[in-house]
Chain A
Amino acid sequence: MVRLHISDGFRSSMTWLHTWAGIGASCLLFMIFWMGSLSVFDSEIDQWMKPELRVTAPTEEFQYGPVFERLLEGEAHGATRMYISAPGKRDPLGYFFYRNKGGENVRGRFDPATLEEVEVTDSYAGTSFFYPFHYSLHIPQGIGYWVVGFCAMAMLVLMVSGIFIHRKIVADFFTFRPQKALRRSTLDLHNLSSLVALPLHILFPLTGLMIFATIYFPWSYNVVYGGDDAQLNRDAGRAGLEASGEPLNAKLDIDAIVGQALSRWQSAEPGVEHRADSVGLELAGDANAYVIVREVFPSRAVSMSKNVLSVSVATGAILAESNAGPAQSAYAWLSGAHYIQFDSRALRWLYFAGGLLGSVMIASGLMFWMQSRIRKGVIDPKSVRVVRGLAVGSVSGIILASGAYLVVNRMLPAEAAAFGLGRAGLEVSVFYLVWVLTYAHAALRGKTSWAEQSWAIGAVGIAAVFLNWVSTGDHLVATVSDRVWPIAGMDIVLIAGSAAAVWSALKLAQRQPTVQRPSKEQPEAFDQAAARAIAATEPAE
């Protein structure tokens, strides 16, 4: 049996590292994990929040030609650029975008069956609120990517240092004792949730950092391309031509070009079924007009596809083609594992559960630290209020705010606007307002705020299910019997979440409050206090 001889000095320095990385990052990490878990079902959340999307995905092969024709001959006449994205299994309406004659960008959704535009509820919903929250915390100017990146690095440090601190990883692997004192069972839960999915808790921050690698390390591109963006674009399959000024004198046949791309990808990679996920027309009406065909979403592969092809409209020649080498293929698998755009219901639910497990790991670690410090009396009483306020607001607060976001979505009328905000902006404002209030509530109410916010989460979840029924008529019995799984799944998760919140509230109410033993000694050296706190709660046997 392998036994790691870890000296007490090394273990205590790892404890110091784990504690401080945790203090710095755990609130933000919980938010990132919570929003990441929700983002697994971002398209389903979209369908719940924007009921116009609750249509069955089309089964026939989607044809791009008719959509381009209809737009170019109709409202988009004279447009210079146009992009169409095909409807998918989880996102049943197509996307269109064009830049019209006047230089304005127009975008919207269309029904693939009728090719008519569909007016969709004005909401950022899952894909435009929860998902960007996950990777940028909605901090603008690219700063958010760096903040999240530092948190991901902190998480890797936390995972490795945590392994070194844990004394009996094998013996305690399955240990969870909820009947014992709160600090003991919190630490048990923290250890359990960390260990059972250890490789995954390392994979996700790592692949998250890899996805943004070129933001953190732009030198890789600079060294290879030396600032030659045109060549970079061509190697990525984007032709990047300039307008010639001459008119186009060839017929635009989108479907033929798409067919050309598909057969090219099919012969390069025969075993897999290829699909054009988006088609763009650049420099429309000009002699240099070209079409970019992109495959993005895999159906039967973990890796995201890198297939991009630019074809000239006038000559049919291939202007640029993406070429994935071995490094990019490895990167595609790793980033695909993080993006989870593949078609696997089993994995999607397991990812959701895994994300929640990671959230439990972070929250339980934060709570254990807080309870230990408060018990030891090493935080002065005024600061306890602040620390607890931050912890409660960052954990139950953001969950409650997410529920409130769903509730307000079902309550606002279509044309709602106030304070210079549209309907989507109002929904987001309610999210942030409720969230800020949870911090204030936690700071004011102290220890009871956990249970109170858990009750509120229970209420909000049920309210959301009820409001969905009232506002759309798609109640759970109907959605299950009609097999509308995205909406049924949402309502089921909301009900299960409410039940879990109510159960937590009851358990929290039952708990004896931990006895406060104010420390009369001088505040100890930090690592000694930490080591003692952990040693004092080691399992007895």
Chain B
Amino acid sequence: MPETVASIGLFLLAGLLAFFGASFLALSQDRNVHRVLGRSVQDKRVSMMRTTGWLLVFVSLIPCIARDGGSFAALLWPLLLAAASIATAMLLAYRPQWLTPIAKVGWKNHIGA
């Protein structure tokens, strides 16, 4: 596929959506929130964070299809999700503080003292 601004932009959009999807899903789990924020969340309801995560993951399919069509998206999307999940896991392992903004945004009404 010839490299145009559109194709690069769609790729980045898909990648970012996949990454935020993966991080939201990771941060919907108590142990990961603990690692990033150093404390548990007050409200144990995980549905909002998890739903948003899944939504972002599936929405990331759209720019993949828009970029190269369904046939290529069937390969591009799983690969991007794998990359996003690895990136999330590596951040949680080595630089959990970089995920603090995402954790704060996602859990803003539920973080206790």
Contacts and interface: CB of A to CB of B under 8 A. Distances in A.
Interface residues of A, number: 33
Contacts of B48: none
Dominant secondary structure of chain B at its interface with chain A: helix
Contacts of B78: 197, 199-200
Interface in B37-55: none
A344 interface: yes
Contact of B1 (A173, A333, A344, A351): A344
A3 interface: no
B82 interface: yes
Interface stretch (A175-183, A241-249, A441-449, A474-482): A175-183
A148 B22 CA distance: 34
A302 B90 CA distance: 31
A535 interface: no
Contact of A357 (B1, B32, B82): B82
Contacts of A193: 86
Interface in A317-366: 333, 337, 342-347, 350-351, 353-354, 357
Most chain A CB atoms below 10 A, which of B22, B32, B68, B90: B68
Interface string B14-32: 0000000010011001011
A343 B78 CA distance: 18
Contact of B72 (A196, A200, A347): A347
Contact of B83 (A175, A353, A541): A353
Contacts of B22: 174
Nearest to B14: A346
Contacts, number: 76
Contacts of A173: 25-26, 85
B79 A176 contact: no
A181 to B, nearest CB: 15
Interface string A500-541: 000000000000000000000000000000000000000001
Interface residues of B, number: 30
A175 B34 CA distance: 13
A520 to B, nearest CB: 37
Nearest to A346: B11
Interface in B78-113: 78-83, 85-86, 88-90, 92-94
Contacts of A300: 1
Contacts of A199: 78
B103 to A, nearest CB: 13
A342 B7 CA distance: 16
B20 to A, nearest CB: 14
Given A351-B79, A357-B86, A174 B26 contact: yes
B31 A354 contact: no
A192 B79 contact: no
B94 A178 contact: yes
Contact of B85 (A174, A179, A302): A174
B93 A177 contact: yes
A195 B78 CA distance: 12
Contacts of A21: none
A210 to B, nearest CB: 16
A354 B93 contact: no
B5 interface: no
B4 interface: no
A174 B71 contact: no
B76 A346 contact: yes
Contacts of B26: 173-174
A450 B11 CA distance: 37
A301 interface: yes
Interface in A155-178: 171, 173-178
Contacts of A354: 79, 82
A125 B82 CA distance: 30
Contacts of B94: 178
A178 B79 contact: no
Nearest to A353: B83
Contact of B92 (A176, A302, A337, A357): A176
Given A344-B68, A351-B79, A354-B79, A178 B93 contact: yes
A270 to B, nearest CB: 16
Interface string B49-79: 0000000000000000000100110111011
Interface of B: 1, 3, 7, 11, 22, 25-26, 29, 31-32, 68, 71-72, 74-76, 78-83, 85-86, 88-90, 92-94
11 contacts: A173-B26, A176-B92, A192-B86, A343-B1, A344-B1, A344-B72, A346-B7, A347-B75, A354-B79, A357-B82, A541-B31
The 3 A-B pairs with the shortest beta carbon distances in the complex, nearest first, are A196-B85, A197-B82, A350-B79
